[in-house]
Structure 1
Amino acid sequence: MGVADDFSRFKDQYNIDQEMMTSISRRYKRITRQLNKDFRGIDSETANSLYVGSYGRDTAAQGVSDLDVGYLLPPALYAKFNAYATNGQSALLQAVRNSVRNTYPTSEISGDGQVVVINFQDGVKFEILPAFVNTIDTWTYPNSNNGGSWKACNPRAEIEAIRLRSLATNRNLKHLCRMMRVWRDYNDVPMSGALIDTLAYQFIENWEYRDKAFLYHDYMARDFLKYMSDQSRAQTYWRMPGSGSYVATKGNFQSKALTDYNISLAACSLQQDSEGPQRRAKWRSVFGPKFLA
């Protein structure tokens, strides 16, 4: 079994399985239906909501536990909550939380700054971002911290930027984003999914083998680890593709990237079939048990 087979099997391990996607979809539809009923008086499981974050960008990997959902409220409610003397943003989050409780009365539900958080007993967490659509398709959302304010985001632009570049790279951008989440989680690297997506987006634009198949995925992992290790440790933020939103660093990810780049160099040198077990052992030390023997 060669390199292409190794990384094809790895893909089967880092992609989210159908059972998990079905569970996510069921909860998403129940939440959306309740919000639509309470805020719009309609009975729809899909209208006015959107997966955002890693799941929305289609870069989440097996083991995902945090699901981000944007729900678009009727425009008239902005004026209502903006007219509050103090922290109408907190009141808005409370209204959304009360709505969700109509569907999940026994789940732990809380407001957390900008989102309503639903913690399910299986460890999965949904974060609901209530928002209003602006005329330029950005969203305005509430921030209840420090007395309350409004902030803007553009998740649709982020989703589209990742989608287009992934199509232009034979889906390698999304493969890379998912496998590097496995790397992050296995090694406890202080790095958000948004930062992984941002750096992968930048890296793959000019990567020599960006349109190749699984035979080159060992090189892709190796070269991206090097790319991450070369990021300035003095840099505190990067800009998200599509929206240009700020993506802050969470700590030193460069050191672990450099360590595993050196391991990946050795792994990539083992190309013969007879060297397969040794090669796969090195990749498992980088990615963990999801990289199967």
Structure 2
Amino acid sequence: MGIEDSRLIGSFTRGTMTGPLKQDSDADVMVVLDADKHRDWIEQENGPTNALRAIKRRIENDPRFSQTEVRVDQNVVQVKYHDSTIEIAPAFRYSEVPHADHPRDGFNLFNDASDGYAIPDTHGQQSWQGTNPREYKQMFEARDQAHNGRVSGLTRAMKTWADRNNVPVRSYHMETMVYNYFEEKARRGEPVPSSYNELTREFMRTLPNRVHGKAKEPVYNESVDKGMGQEDRNAAAKKAKKASEKLEEAKRLKDQGKTEEAMEKLKEVHGKDFN
């Protein structure tokens, strides 16, 4: 298999991973394929799926991965070890895929996809979709720095909440919703709460609507929630609403001077180790 490059991407590189790797968490690796050697995957009608299946077979046939579970999960190949999971995203350089979908409508000099990559989009019609993890990382870090680390901090808190409560929202989806919350605040000229309790409470209040809406990443305005069904949206929104009510109750208790009761209510949302 012709591979030009591979790089670690995802939450690990942006400081939004919620803890050490474990079976239900993942590290993301993008494998950049040689377009000349794999031109058929670019041109075939089912090229994205064929690329994913070929990588899956390659891993399954490698004795080094004999103790892992390997499967295709949407646009990645998931390799699950007993204590961690690696997700491998095949990609071509965007300029090598002439018919790749440009995530934004129309041509935009400030969002040119040519310096990015094309990854599989297997939701509905088969296609290659533009993405640029490098530029997104730079944008995320700049906004996080502007808010003294609160973007990554809130992202980790919300991912942890989702993980502990079996909320059916994927990690990158949650991160995107948090990023967009801060972007909206900046665009409207609204202040961001200075305390994490107030910040979490305000974001959680908006989360049901965010889950039911469309979450789009900031580089190309690409939807990151295409594979989320209505049942999962309803379940996630319901859990977010319940958590929001508990956070509001915690605030009322604290305002009444009932600090211990308020802390117990916060622990119902954030876990028993919260302090």
Q: TM-score, normalised by structure 2?
A: 0.72
Q: Which of the pair has the greater relative contact order for Cα pairs under 8 Å at 6+ separation?
A: 1
The alignment status of 1:197 with 2:193, answered yes or no, reads no
What pairs with 1:17-166 in structure 2 (closer than 5 Å)? 39=2, 48-62=5-19, 65-82=25-42, 87-97=46-56, 99-100=58-59, 101=62, 103-122=64-83, 124-135=84-95, 136-142=114-120, 149-166=127-144
Name the SS for the 2:37 alignment partner: helix
Name the SS for the 2:2 alignment partner: helix
Deviation at 1:52, TM superposition (A): 2.8
- 1:111 & 1:209 partners in 2: Cα distance? 39
**What amino acid maps onto 1:279 in structure 2?**
A
Deviation at 1:240, TM superposition (A): 1.4
Alignment-derived partner of residue 243 in structure 1: 220
Give the 3 Å change call, closer, same or farther, for CA 153–102 of structure 1 in structure 2: farther
Deviation at 1:148, TM superposition (A): 5.6
- 1:111 & 1:195 partners in 2: Cα distance? 19
Deviation at 1:55, TM superposition (A): 3.0
Alignment-derived partner of residue 188 in structure 1: 166
Deviation at 1:183, TM superposition (A): 1.5
Give the 3 Å change call, closer, same or farther, for CA 113–176 of structure 1 in structure 2: closer
Per-residue CA shift, 1:114-134, capped at 9, x if unaligned?
Answer: 322211122x22111111112
* Contact 1:68–1:129 under 8 Å retained in 2: yes
* Contact 2:211–2:233 under 8 Å retained in 1: no
- 1:245 & 1:89 partners in 2: Cα distance? 18
Provide the aligned length of Structure 1 versus Structure 2: 240
* Contact 1:70–1:129 under 8 Å retained in 2: yes
**What amino acid maps onto 1:217 in structure 2?**
Y
Name the SS for the 2:115 alignment partner: coil
Match of 2:240 among 226, 251, 257: 257
Per-residue CA shift, 1:38-82, capped at 9, x if unaligned?
Answer: 635xxxxxx922233333443221365122211112232342544
Deviation at 1:104, TM superposition (A): 2.2
Give the 3 Å change call, closer, same or farther, for CA 77–179 of structure 1 in structure 2: same
Q: Indicate the percent of aligned positions where both proteins have the same amino acid.
A: 24
- 2:47 & 2:13 partners in 1: Cα distance? 28
Q: Unaligned stretches of 5+ in structure 2?
A: 96-113
- 2:273 & 2:220 partners in 1: Cα distance? 32
Give the 3 Å change call, closer, same or farther, for CA 276–105 of structure 1 in structure 2: same
Deviation at 1:258, TM superposition (A): 2.9
